[in-house]
Amino acid sequence: MTDHKIKVLVAEDSAIIRMFLVHLLESDPQICVIGAVGDGQAAVDFVNQEKPDVVLMDIHMPHMDGFEATRRIMQTRAVPIVICSAAANARDLVISFQAMEAGAIACIETPYGREQGDFDATAAHLLETVKLMSEVKVVRRSAYSRPPSAPAAHPSQYTSTRIKLIGIGASTGGPPVLQTILASLPRDFPVPLLVVQHIARGFMAGMAEWLNHTTGRQIHIASYGTYPLPGHAYLAPDDFHMGIDADSRIVLTREEPENHLRPSVSFLFRSLAEACGPGALGILLTGMGQDGAAELRLMKDKGAITIAQDQESSAVYGMPGVAVALGGATHVLAADKIADALAALIHQKNDLSRS
């Protein structure tokens, strides 16, 4: 019976890759491919007639690309959309993140055959992502626009010491939340931000470029030994843990993965707890699993302010949910309230430093 299987639509312009993806997906007994189309318009039409549980969406397709197809689907009959791209060049990568801004909830690398060096891991990740994303509740976008800014938080809502560094951890659904936070911070925001975002290998450069274009903030892929600058954001590079040393310089290391991940949010948060104590601030955003949850509690125990994204605004309430359950969050906030909270905390810190 297919009634209890996860129904997937594959949208991919290459007939060979499309057939391969269908074969790979149907190798999992929990998945049933109910459609395979070669362009974005066909994907939109299919979703309007048959509602799949997940759409696996390519970027470059004739008649309508994956970004526009995602935008239209999310405005008319929203379903979980996973961008599946070969990450061939910077332009493709930026379009992938534009699709996430339009409502896609994950971005993964396309497995293309056994000659691919890490094919088994890439294929397993695709199957796992499709199954997990089928359970995500998405909502229709009435218009393609960023969420409105939340009312500014009043500084008296928060307590703070001198905040020197902010650490942010995110996974599934994280890129558009990061974009909202970074774009909403004041231009003269005076604290560096260190970010670990779980994303498929090869996509980080595109994410950095997309955030640079859409947030008005300086975004960097972190380099070893850098002193992070006020208001700049530093993304952990592929396959490197990122932390901070006693001299407040960025440290990159290829130590063993934590929670099967490298970079790991746990590594970053533990580093901030040890190096900065109450001078750090930790934020754990949407994502599957529990990476960073215990270490957010460690930061809190060391005197740091800690923020977890709330369940309603999280695509996947795994990482922040575990942190809240562990008592690791000083504040639990909706995605569009986090930037205002940070501005309030820093404002109060400045007031305290003048007193």
Mean pLDDT per 10-residue interval, the chain, length 355 residues: 80 93 95 96 96 93 91 92 76 80 86 70 88 81 45 42 91 92 94 95 89 94 96 96 96 95 97 96 94 98 96 91 97 96 77 43
Same domain, 71 and 194: no
Same domain, 73 and 189: no
Task: Out of 100, 133, 166, pick the residue that ends a domain.
Answer: 133
Q: What is the DSSP string of 39-106?
A: SHHHHHHHHHHS--SEEEE-S--SSS-HHHHHHHHHHHS---EEEEE---SHHHHHHHHHHHHTT--E
Query: Could you tell me if residue 150 is inside a domain?
Result: no
Query: Residue 269's domain is classified under what CATH number?
Result: 3.40.50.180
Same domain, 211 and 290: yes
pLDDT tens per residue across span 121-175: 888 889 998 998 888 877 665 544 444 443 444 444 444 458 999 999 999 889 9
Same domain, 313 and 221: yes
Same domain, 205 and 297: yes
Instruction: Please identify every residue annotated as catalytic.
Output: 171, 198, 291
pLDDT tens per residue across span 57-104: 998 888 899 999 999 999 998 899 999 887 556 666 777 888 888 889
Task: Out of 133, 168, 192, pick the residue that ends a domain.
Answer: 133
Same domain, 330 and 272: yes
CB 200 within 8 A of CB 108: yes
CB 203 within 8 A of CB 104: no
Tally the domains of the chain.
2
Query: Could you tell me if residue 147 is inside a domain?
Result: no
**What is the distance between the alpha carbons of residues 150 and 258, in angstroms, rounded to a whole number?**
35
Query: Residue 80's domain is classified under what CATH number?
Result: 3.40.50.2300
Range of the domain at 249: 155-354
